[in-house]
Structure 1
Amino acid sequence: MTSRTLHATARAAQLRRRPLAAALLVAVAMPAAAEVAADAQADKTPTFDPVEVVGEAVEKASSPKFTAPLLDTPQTISVVPADVFNAQGAQNLTDVLRNTPGISFSAGENGFATNNNNFSLRGFDTSGSIFIDGVRDSGNYARDVFNIEQVEVAKGPAADNGRGGLGGYVNLVTKAPQLGYFARGTASFGADATDADGRVRTTIDLNNQIGETSALRLNLLAKTGGVAGREHVESDAFGIAPSLAFGLGTDTRLTLAAQYVSQSGRPDWGVPGAMVEGTVNYNADAARADTDNFYGLKSDYDDNTTTSISARIEHDFSPAVSISNLTRWTETSRDAGYTVPTGYTPATQLVGTQTQFFSRENTGFANLTNLSARFGTGALSHTLSAGLEFTREESESDRFPTITQPATSVLDPDYLRAVQGKIAPVQTSRVKIDTVAAYVYDTVEFNEHWQLTGGLRAERYEVEIASRNADDSPQGPDGYEVGETTLGGKLGLVFKPTENGSLYASVNIATLPPGNYLSNPDISREGVNTFPGLVGQNNEAAKPQRAVSHEIGVKWDFFDDRLSTSAALFNTQRRGVAITGKEPGVASSPEVLRGYGKQIVRGVELSAVGRITDAWTVFAGAVFLDSERELGEYLDAARCTAAPTDYVAGATVADCAAIVAGSGGVDGDELAFTPKRSANLWTTYAFGNGFTIGGGVQHVGDSWAGRPDDADRLIPNGRWGKLPGYTVGNLMASYQFNEKFALRLNIDNVTDETYATSANWAMSRAFLGPARSYLLSADFRFW
């Protein structure tokens, strides 16, 4: 295992224009200086013992709402620790989530401004269910992991943190001060055989004990360069995350933390779908194009800043009773203009392009209080967690028209063909959501073999939308208001035949009310495109959607609890999915909410995480899914009548009855972009002489193109073909020269596969996975 630090990257030429980034890189890139400093420090008597970081299996989720260890939690939970994703060279949340099977990424109109920032979990959109230290983190942006200790993925409907979570949720756990001291960093350089610029990244992690019970921790990030496999694309970042803790090891503890991250660069929005073999728009001439071709403009930009401040206070009344309060404020601002390929004309070999814009500021304030207690009632033992939560989240956005740009050659695109500056917004919008929630969870132990874990969460959710034209006149959903009181929770029975194993059966329930637009990627579009689903799923009159999941599974630890394994069989129903349409066969009828359908996802998930031996580690998982839409013949015909060509090219309203009757409709179809199979494997072996080798495989099966689970429009399977599956292999080798210095080489996509990770609904554009790339990293430990 490597130390819990992130890899760092920067092109020398660009660093010369960024003195602070250069200083950070130089600070960790001079091992001789580090050795001198270390020798000087060794002459002094240290006040505190150094902290050693050793990779261990995660036994419990970070949230107090999990009242049992992972082994005894009746739910599938995947935890990706920092030493796993650091060894892989992962830099953002998207990279980390590739370790979790059952996740698919969105692009194009399925994620208008996302560039793979949006994703689905077990078929259901999960982009609005991302949390940092248990607090919802709204907004559409790339989340760097330089200050992250582990990433937790809860599978299945989860009301733990409130609205949404129909497929689960993701929680990022930030680094915190510790008693003891350490100073470590990573500098890395990445390159590949394409015309992409080199990539340099540096991170530093400092922890210093400043008293018997206090500590200060500082994490720093500097990054500059290109993006693997993408010509002309740039990605720069700077981050700083200080945290200060008092009372460590005592009954009362206070932790203050802040984080600031600035990211900028020239974004990439993919290639024409015609370049991707196996897609409905594939063209042999287009496929001759270099896969690193950039179809955007030199003037494209994507600037993002995130700022957060938090305070956590904890007090132990006794070894069995404690209370905590977390207050967190966040602000995320993103301003972007990017040019996307919109189609390909074989006769001319030209690619059509458009420039789109995104401008949005998200702010959030949360106050979370939790009481945890262990106690007995007669022969029963309880581990209880109860709490209150208050949050306010707001989003303010400018909205813009789409600008058509000159077409460009598919074989030799010219990124200087036009210059697109910023334009004035034509509309604005504001979304405000207030939430008040109370919850209680409890694990009841009847005896050494039987446990019951469950709980309820009641939540009052209120959303308001203001939508205005440039002249301040009302537009569209201006005045939209929805208020809902929802109830969700979970209940699971656990049988432990032995101390290191458990079998369980559980039911989980989560609710999604209308109007949840805080992470919506379409927010900067003009007109009705800004707030999708206002006729259907987000209609003020629509009833809340509810997901109910049944799961049975087994969890077992082997090799003296070094290796944790699990297998789960699950069935999730998303109920109350609003279906819009016209009266079947009546083209002149209005398109309104016509009824409700279901979405069903069932499958099996397997995992193995930990150490097989002291030298051999493994992190593996696999998911096999079967998804289905249920809406009935009437709603299918109503949907076809509203948009006949969504069902069959050139179809008219008069054709819809025959299309639906002939099984050409949507009823019974699989969910779009929901692969039946996905799996990942990462394993390392340490030889004991400082040399470690590792490698991994990621497999994602093919999936139907179409509209995602949260869209009102429905596209039958086969209308736009499939997104082909792929299998990618990665390798790693590292050598620990001494306790202060190690080198690591990562080779990703070893066989140099050409593959698409996502595409828009009509397959007119796709995002390609990176070509074979190399990352050389140096890990330094100063003391």
Structure 2
Amino acid sequence: MPPSLIRRRIYPAPFMAGLALLYSGIHVHAADAATDTKTSKPKHHRHAAGKAAAAGKAAAHNPAKAAPAPAVAATGTTAARPLYAPPGTTSTITPTEENLTVVGSPMNILHQDIGLSRMPQDVMHTPQTVNVVPQVLMEQQNVKTLDEALRNVPGITASVGEGEGGMSGDQFLIRGFQAQNDIYEDGLRDYGVYSRDSFDYDHISVIKGPSSEVFGNGTTGGAINMVTKMPHLGNSYSGQFSGGSADYYRGTLDVNQQIGESTAIRIAGMGNENDEVGRDDVYSHRWGIAPSIAFGLGKPTTLTIEYFHQTDNRIPDYGVPLLTKPGTTIARPATEFGVNRNNWYGTQYDQDDSNVDMLSAHLKHEFNSHITFYDDLRGGMYQRYFSASWEGCNATCNAAYFGNDPASALVDRRGHLGGPEPYQQNDWSVQNVASAIAKFNTGMLKHQIIAGWDVAHVYDRRTNYAYNYNGLNGTQTDTTGLVNPTNFVPGLLLGNVGQYSSNLVNISGVGRALHKTGVATDVGAFFSDQVWFAPWFSARAGFRWDHWDSHYSANEGMVGTGVSYGQNQDTYNPTVNLMYTPNDDTMVYFNWAQSTTPLGLYVTNSSEPLRATNEGYAPERSSLYEIGAKYNAFHGRMGFTVSAFRLEKGNSLLTDPTTGDVTPSSDRQRNQGFELSASGEILKNWNVIATYAYYDAKTIASATAADVGKRIQYAPKNSATFWSTYTIAPATPWNVTFGGGLTWRQSVWLDPANTAKVPDTVEWDAMISHSFLKHWKVAMNGYNLANRLNYSNLFSDRVTPSTGRAFLFNISATY
């Protein structure tokens, strides 16, 4: 396909002689290697040429540094941005132009865009901890889901939901704090409750810490932003097929076609079927398609319209219960005491079927070199049928297992609140974010102002179903053996709508409701101003105001006339940043930010907590204090980051897993620590990405005195990731790329009282690949090579064993 070209200005001979040495180490390759074939985005890594290129890039991110230095801009790509030269900047040099194709390592995440208009800088110039999972890493690891991709980010753990409702899907925690409502796609919230396939992802950014000034309410631990594959100029075609362990079969397709001077279409598709290594009866059958079209590429006005659909039919896996060995006080997973890791405790009714449809439009208009306007609009529809068994091992079960007859230990599959009974969920949402970026001077000061508004509405409607327990001796219990579970339950009947209403779960303050409806509207406005007081120092201050209006009702069934609750809250969230940039490759920063989480924020992906007793509860409030540094080393081949932070969360809202009641508390939680990362090309053909995080996460005040000083649940003290690859004899018929890495997460507590614990996670993965016939590649991936018993999804009284040793073969073609 045609290469993306980087324009380099040609200056008079004396000037160019001074740059010759800098350019001596540049790698200039064939045209078809100049661009990432998946995205057609120029690879931003700079070798010795990086110093000259950095001047242009620095001007884009730091207006104060714009000067008559060589400017570098990518043309014909969705990632390109016009460079900003402040008013009054002139050049005495008359340049000519030539086209030069420059290639470098795409593994250096500091060059990566975050992927939303409200944060226009790349990672290097964003004063906050940002982890990126680049596309090249996802390709090497053969990543298939969002969950798999985020295993490359320290401090992220997965949970399976909380309280009545039994939510599954993608439920993440960042730095120990819930983030199920903090999942974004191209800067807009993805409200759906489903397991996200990665077939349409270009890269993934994780912005750590409170960011409500940018994203709105939520983001206590941070925000996850998936950047999708957008149309680009030029043509590219790719497809791949994978097969391997546990009847894994997967095919993907990615086609981009330019159909005019500035118009292109792109279609990404996926089909996937797999069982789960190390887990009985668990599978996922899904398919998806994501067509998009872009108008005005390379023009001042660009409009991109994209549609996304994913259908998934899977079996939910709520893992294994916890046991407490006699003579000890710490509960651990049953599999740590000899229970088979393959045991699945569901029934014949367990199912998680979802259909997701999202239509998005992204408009960008450059009025001139100083003002750019963006408008992002999305409508989504989510349909889901969910039924899962929520197993628990009580004191009788625990005693029986450690007694003389382990086979007599019985697991209760109804769990808390009688168990998460089946429900049909029909949701829809719409969100529009309009923003503008203005760059101008006031005297000697340079400014970059970002301002706009954000309007969102989300609707959630659930119809609950009930079981008939008459076939189980008239008792409302459903038990199976801990050692040898039986998935088929004779006599357990699932009723139709309204049938067996007396067996619906009885929720405190709600009753046995057949229908539950949640509605919320959020109107927000944001403003920030970054001021350059000197070319090497700038400060940014911003705030966001949100008006949150939410309502919840439950009716029919055994609830009588029904109940209805509501609340209105106004929240304000500020941010202050200080940035010291002594040169183009270094930034030292300070970040202070706050976020708020109102009650009932999680309309679609949690149980609705609103009651008559808590409608007026104040939101949770979190504050972040962070200092850090980012550095591009070795002429931009490697990127290094270090940050130290303190995250404080006050007025924590507590959910009782037995009743579902939400109560305010005097609890104050604090997580402080530091994070490190290194990414890029160590030597030619040798790439690496490594991260480490240390968290000192504690409850520092609580109405429950015994919890003071205890570690925050789900927050590991230490975690790290490492991935490295090396290519032997590239661009030859005998080329080979091999590599591997480690994912490590120290043991974590599962409850605030620190009475339940899950062991360390240690996973070794590896890959080997070979390219042939110019466009084709074969690869083999091995996962959890030591076949270690690790745990993925976590909850207060159960955990899900991770995939056992698995292998995937992959063949792909790229044109």
Note whether the superposition's TM-score is higher than 0.5: yes
Cα pair 1:51 1:181 within 8 Å, conserved: no
Match of 1:272 in 2: 321
Q: 2:521 aligns with which of 434, 455, 459?
A: 434
Q: Which amino acid aligns with 1:306?
A: V
Q: 1:603 and 2:673 equivalent?
A: yes
How far residue 272 of structure 1 moved from its aligned partner, in angstroms, is 3.4
Q: 2:618 aligns with which of 543, 548, 562?
A: 543
Q: Which amino acid aligns with 1:62?
A: G
Q: Which moved more, 1:266-275 or 1:399-408?
A: 399-408
Tell me: CA distance 1:111–1:453, structure 2 relative to 1, closer, same or farther (3 Å).
farther
**RMSD between aligned residues:** 3.0
How far residue 225 of structure 1 moved from its aligned partner, in angstroms, is 2.7
Match of 2:452 in 1: 387
Tell me: CA distance 1:235–1:722, structure 2 relative to 1, closer, same or farther (3 Å).
same
Mapped partners of 2:280, 2:339: distance in 1: 13
Cα pair 2:600 2:609 within 8 Å, conserved: no
Tell me: CA distance 1:611–1:275, structure 2 relative to 1, closer, same or farther (3 Å).
farther
Q: Which amino acid aligns with 2:785?
A: V
Match of 2:753 in 1: 716
Q: 1:566 and 2:566 equivalent?
A: no
Mapped partners of 1:56, 1:406: distance in 2: 51
Cα pair 2:640 2:678 within 8 Å, conserved: yes
Match of 1:330 in 2: 380
Match of 2:762 in 1: 727
Q: 2:238 aligns with which of 173, 184, 187?
A: 184
Match of 1:629 in 2: 699
Cα pair 2:332 2:757 within 8 Å, conserved: no
Q: 1:481 and 2:566 equivalent?
A: yes
Aligned pairs for 1:326-725 (under 5 A) are 326-343=376-393, 344=397, 345-346=400-401, 347=405, 348-354=408-414, 356-401=421-466, 406-418=478-490, 421=494, 423-424=496-497, 426-470=513-557, 473-475=560-562, 478-521=563-606, 523=607, 531-532=608-609, 534=611, 539-578=614-653, 596-632=666-702, 635-636=703-704, 660=705, 665-689=706-730, 690-706=735-751, 715-718=752-755, 721-725=756-760
Q: Which amino acid aligns with 1:679?
A: A
Tell me: CA distance 1:466–1:593, structure 2 relative to 1, closer, same or farther (3 Å).
closer
Q: Which moved more, 1:69-78 or 1:423-432?
A: 423-432
What is the TM-score normalised by the length of structure 2?
0.77
Tell me: CA distance 1:207–1:185, structure 2 relative to 1, closer, same or farther (3 Å).
same
Q: 1:303 aligns with which of 324, 332, 353?
A: 353
Mapped partners of 2:333, 2:637: distance in 1: 50
Q: 1:216 and 2:265 equivalent?
A: yes
Tell me: CA distance 1:266–1:580, structure 2 relative to 1, closer, same or farther (3 Å).
closer
How far residue 462 of structure 1 moved from its aligned partner, in angstroms, is 0.9
3-state SS in 1 of match to 2:583:
coil
Aligned pairs for 1:57-206 (under 5 A) are 57=108, 58-107=111-160, 109=162, 113-115=166-168, 117-159=170-212, 160-191=214-245, 197-206=246-255
Cα pair 1:535 1:592 within 8 Å, conserved: no
3-state SS in 1 of match to 2:711:
coil
Q: Which amino acid aligns with 2:670?
A: I
Match of 1:41 in 2: none
How far residue 3 of structure 1 moved from its aligned partner, in angstroms, is 6.9
How far residue 212 of structure 1 moved from its aligned partner, in angstroms, is 0.9
Cα deviation per residue 1:512-571 (whole Å; 9 max; x = unaligned)?
1222132433x3xxxxxxx347488xx212112211111011111112112211111101
Q: Which moved more, 1:68-77 or 1:347-356?
A: 347-356
3-state SS in 1 of match to 2:220:
coil
Mapped partners of 1:445, 1:283: distance in 2: 54
Mapped partners of 1:557, 1:515: distance in 2: 42
Match of 2:809 in 1: 776
Tell me: CA distance 1:760–1:490, structure 2 relative to 1, closer, same or farther (3 Å).
same
Mapped partners of 2:329, 2:382: distance in 1: 36
Cα deviation per residue 1:292-342 (whole Å; 9 max; x = unaligned)?
233223442210010011122221111332112122100111102223432
Mapped partners of 2:168, 2:550: distance in 1: 27
Match of 1:14 in 2: none
Cα deviation per residue 1:325-383 (whole Å; 9 max; x = unaligned)?
12210011110222343224413144332363243122111111111122222222222
Mapped partners of 1:406, 1:513: distance in 2: 36
Cα pair 1:266 1:298 within 8 Å, conserved: no
Tell me: CA distance 1:444–1:70, structure 2 relative to 1, closer, same or farther (3 Å).
farther
Q: Which amino acid aligns with 1:107?
A: V
Q: Which amino acid aligns with 2:545?
A: A
Mapped partners of 1:358, 1:686: distance in 2: 51
Cα deviation per residue 1:734-755 (whole Å; 9 max; x = unaligned)?
1111322101111010111012
Unaligned ranges ≥5, structure 2 = 1-32, 40-100, 470-475, 499-512
Q: Which amino acid aligns with 1:424?
A: V
Q: Which amino acid aligns with 2:629?
A: V
Cα pair 1:298 1:416 within 8 Å, conserved: yes
Mapped partners of 1:533, 1:628: distance in 2: 28
Q: Which moved more, 1:353-362 or 1:248-257?
A: 353-362
Cα pair 2:114 2:120 within 8 Å, conserved: no
Mapped partners of 1:574, 1:285: distance in 2: 34
Match of 1:527 in 2: none
Match of 1:251 in 2: 300
Mapped partners of 1:552, 1:436: distance in 2: 31
Q: Which moved more, 1:430-439 or 1:741-750?
A: 430-439
Q: Which amino acid aligns with 1:382?
A: H
Mapped partners of 1:108, 1:326: distance in 2: 29
Mapped partners of 1:779, 1:97: distance in 2: 23
Q: Which moved more, 1:181-190 or 1:280-289?
A: 280-289
Mapped partners of 2:808, 2:249: distance in 1: 9
Percent identity between the two aligned chains: 26
Mapped partners of 1:684, 1:64: distance in 2: 33
Tell me: CA distance 1:578–1:250, structure 2 relative to 1, closer, same or farther (3 Å).
closer
Mapped partners of 1:692, 1:328: distance in 2: 40
Cα deviation per residue 1:66-95 (whole Å; 9 max; x = unaligned)?
254322321111111222122212211111
Mapped partners of 2:314, 2:439: distance in 1: 51
Q: Which amino acid aligns with 1:146?
A: F
Cα pair 2:169 2:193 within 8 Å, conserved: no
Cα pair 2:163 2:655 within 8 Å, conserved: no
3-state SS in 2 of match to 1:83:
helix
Match of 1:37 in 2: none
Mapped partners of 2:774, 2:493: distance in 1: 51
Mapped partners of 1:125, 1:434: distance in 2: 21
